[in-house]
Amino acid sequence: MNQKLEERIDEWRSYLHKHRAIQTVDVEELEDHLRTQVKALSEVGLDDDEAFLVAVKRLGDLDALSREFAREYSERLWKQLVTSDRSDGAKGDKTRDVVVAVGLAFAAGVAIKIPELFGLHISGEDDEQMYFYIRNFSLFVLPFLAIYFAWKRGLSTVNRLWLAVPFIAAVVIMNILPFRGEGHTLKLAAIHIPIALWLAIGFAYISGLWRDHGQRMNFVRFSGEWFIYYALIALGGGVLMGFIFFTFESIGIDAEGFVESWVLPCGIMGAFIIGAWLVEAKQSIVENMAPVLTKLFTPLFTVLLLVFLGTMIWTGSSIKIEREVLIGFDLLLVLVLALLLFSISVRDPHAPPGFFDAMQFLLVVSALAVDVLALQAISGRIYEYGFSPNKFAALGENLILLANLSWTAVLYARFLMKRSTFAPVEHWQTAYIPVYGVWAWVVVVLFPIIFKFQ
């Protein structure tokens, strides 16, 4: 057994000695069982790191504290496995990663331009052309991101087939169903299909281990880190386009058409893949940035919501029931939830309650109050004007957020009062992730049928 494995076994042994108040099971006996399991798993093809991760989880059936160790450390152990794959590989493997990522980014950029060969221009003024891109925008890039992680994680043939199912379904739904060009169900489907497919990408990212709480949290962490990189790439791309305009204008050439037709769409597509590759290759950099960003934006959003609620109470105003306002509040609540998830994903699960946890609790309670007010406004709009695809979607999303935020507030309160550990807060968030995927597919598949493609 290699030195790295011995270090992990030492860490497991130290954990048991540290946390076991009463020695109900002999640690040496457990260690013998652990080593036997690791050896057996190694003989069937797993490397030592993977064998340890599986063996320590199996050991949980015999010992509750080992099960706790496996649960608490599975996220970090998974990240170590991924990192070791990167760091222990030869220089040629790293070069291959770059080539594959750049190649798929280039392919995504080309994919968005292929329809132009058939007269469908992304910047065209024809409504049919615009609706084609609304239907298929996410399908030009997300399959390439799924391919990248299927290759990177070495998915089995069976898992690759499962991964292909939602993408095939999305292509069929978005291009076969008789959506109306200006219909609300088309716009709702176009908004929700990326959510559904992003969770499919998560299946590839965590190698098909979707039932594992730790791996779901890893995907949450990846999603937040990917967003940071994508935002940085977008800012850099904006500067680049500005200099393109400036430099070519200095010689009397208008570069606006080139930028709008090529640089912007191809850059948007390619950045999806490059952002994912950067998370994989430069993970330690974002791990240092992420806690700072969450500690910066959590108080800002908390103050925003508190000031808003206070102003409503002081002035006696209520939320306007206009559609644009309700959509804006939904986006605000989704952003708050994303910030909450990312904050949880980068928090040390063993740290005791602190000031930042109190701030998180205040953010959750404030968002919960805003959600209740938004639900009241949506209900009033439905009572006055009746159901429509947009109002029904807003109602469902606010109810989903209400359930999540309500139980999160309860779990956070118990944690702050030291009646529970932080683990239930994490587990609730990761267990709730599939709900968003199910709702996204309901909006994509059932809404057009229920509302007759309005």
Sequence ranges of the domains in the chain = 3-88, 90-181+193-281, 287-454
pLDDT for 10 equals 80
Q: What is the pTM of this model?
A: 0.78
pLDDT for 90 equals 43
Distance CA 417, CA 421 (A): 10
Distance CA 166, CA 371 (A): 31
What number is the average pLDDT over the span 84-105? 71
Residue 303 has pLDDT above 70, yes or no: yes
What number is the average pLDDT over the span 247-251? 84
pLDDT, tens only, 284-297: 555 556 677 788 88
pLDDT, tens only, 145-169: 999 999 998 888 999 999 999 999 9
Q: Containing H/E element for 453?
A: none
Q: Which residue reads 């994989």 in tokens?
A: 280
Burial 170-209 (b: 16+ CB within 10 A, else e): beebbeebebeeebbbbbbbbebbbbbbbbbbbbbbbbbb
- pLDDT tier at 74 (50, 70, 90 boundaries)? low
Tell me the average pLDDT of the chain: 83
Percent of the chain with pLDDT over 90: 35
